[in-house]
Amino acid sequence: MIAKTSALILVIALATLIFAMPAIADDTKALETRAQLEALIDRYIASNGAKSELLNSRSDNIRKSAIRSCRIASFCVTSREALVKEMLENNIEPKPYKVSRFLNEKYRVVAMAKE
C-alpha cells in the first residue's frame, strides 16, 4: 500500500514538473527576448546619439539629419520601457532591422501627432 502511494506521488510530481517545464521555458525565452530588444534599443540610441557630432556641419541637410537623429534618440530614451513593452506585445523579433523600423515608425507617428 505504501509503495503504491509513493509511486502515485512520484508520478504526480513528475507530471507536474513535465507540464511546468514549458512555462518555465517560455518565461526564460521572454526574458531573453526582452534583454535582446533592450540591447538593440540601446544600440539604436547610441548610433543616433553619435550623429549629434554633425550638428556643427556646414551643410544644412546634414544639420537637419543630425537634429532629427537627436530627437529620435531622446524619444527612445524617454519612452524606452513603453517601446519594449509594445514590441513584446507585437511580437517584434529582436533583429536590428526590425527594431530600427519599429522605432522609426513610432517616432514618425509621435512627430506627426505633434505637428
Calpha distance 55→57 (Å, rounded): 6
Average pLDDT, the chain: 85
What's the pLDDT band for 67 if we cut at 50, 70, 90? very high
pLDDT band at 111 (very low <50, low <70, confident <90, very high): confident
- Would you list the domain boundaries of the chain? 26-114
Please tell me the predicted confidence (pLDDT) of residue 10. 54
Taken in order 58, 60, 61, 64, the sign of the CA dihedral is positive
H helices of 1-115, in order, are 2-50, 60-78, 80-89, 96-114
Report percent pLDDT > 70 for the chain: 77
Residue pLDDT, tens place only, 16-44:
656 655 555 567 888 899 999 999 999 99
